[in-house]
Each structure stands twice: as C-alpha cells, then as structure tokens.
Amino acid sequence: MKFFADTAEIKEIAELAEMGLLDGVTTNPSLIAKSGRDFKEVVAEICQLVEGPVSAEVIALDCAGMLAQAKDLTAIADNVAIKVPLTWEGLKACRALSDQGTMVNVTLCFNANQALLAAKAGAAFISPFIGRLDDMGIDGMEVIEEIRAIYDNYGFTTEILAASIRSANHVKFAAMAGADVATVPPSVLQGLVKHPLTDKGLEGFMADWKKTGQSL
C-alpha cells in the first residue's frame, strides 16, 4: 500500500519524506487554511520535498473554472495532481484533464457508483471518504471492497485512495479491503508503529542491559 500524507504542514512532510515513508501528499483548502500560508507557495514547497503526486484542489464549481484553475496549478510542478469534486462538472473536468495527460484525483466519493463514473472519466485516483461514511453509520470499508471488485472486474487502472482516515485500524482495514493508497494525517501514520508489547519489550531489554553494567 502507498502512503500519502494528508496535510499541508511542511515540517511534517519533510520528516516523513526523509524517512522514505511518503509516496505522495494530499492537500485541500481546509488544510491550506490551517497553515495560514499562500496556497501556491505551499504546494510548490511540498512538490520539492515529495517525488510522488501532490494533490492540489480546485475551488471552482463549473468545468471551465476548474480547467482554468488546473492550468495554473499544474504549472507549479510536474507532480501536481488536480483534485476535483465528484460532481457532474467535476467529471467533465476530469475527462478533459486526463485526456491532456494530467493526473486527476476525484474527491468526495461516497459510493461505488460514483467511483465507477470517476474511473470512466479517466481519474488517476478516486478518494472514498471512510471516516465520513462511518459517521453516517455506513461501513466505509465495504465501499472500498465494492470499488475494488468493480475496478478489478473491468480492468480500470484508477487507484483507490482511501481518505478521511482517522485511526490505525482504518489503515489496516483499508489495506485488507484492497485500497491502493491511504492518505493519512501524520499523527495516524506515526501511530502505526505503536504497540504496548513493543514498549514493554523495549523496557525489559533496557532493564536487563543496565544490569550488565556495560556500555556501547
């Protein structure tokens, strides 16, 4: 499974990239707003840190506006992926951009039918929102499984990018369900390393080593 960082915080991205854990980054207007910085400036910095796709979201609601904004965003760096909403206008923009060779991440997906349309429109990534589905009492992982089955049935190359991930279990179950990518807040990604038995074992090793009176 590929890991994308779901953040616009440069320090967090730089640390994860240095460790070789990042395959890409996803941003959105909300994340950029939290950073308090210029949108294009932040995207440019992220693109310099990460070789993989960096999703930058358009804010226009009509196809023409999306295409105009996408032109500005793709000029920032070669690895910019344009994020468009899963609306009729967004699908029109997706087709036009993908025909031009631009990576498109279709976001705000909540069911398999929407994902099928995005794949037909040439999306490079489809972003089903797991956490928000769970909030509604809908099994987000079941949606991932349905999308995986449909894409495999017809040989679609669109990658399933599990989004709105809030826990380590979300990451695990998304991987088991066949998601190609998980876009994860850095805190959740760092949390994947944690287990109480690991901590307990390390404490035991250190205590035993201290008893030897040796040093390295």
Q: Is 92 a catalytic residue?
A: no
Is residue 127 within 8 A of residue 161, CB to CB? The reply is yes
Instruction: Give the chain's length.
Output: 216
User: Active-site residue among 2, 11, 71, 83?
Assistant: 83
Q: What does the H/E/C string look like for the chain?
A: CEEEEECCCHHHHHHHHHCCCCCEEECCHHHHHHHCCCHHHHHHHHHHHCCCCEEEECCCCCHHHHHHHHHHHHCCCCCEEEEEECCHHHHHHHHHHHHCCCCEEEEEECCHHHHHHHHHCCCCEEEEEHHHHHHCCCCHHHHHHHHHHHHHHHCCCCEEEEECCCCHHHHHHHHHHCCCEEEECHHHHHHCCCCHHHHHHHHHHHHHHHHHCCCC
Residues with catalytic roles: 83
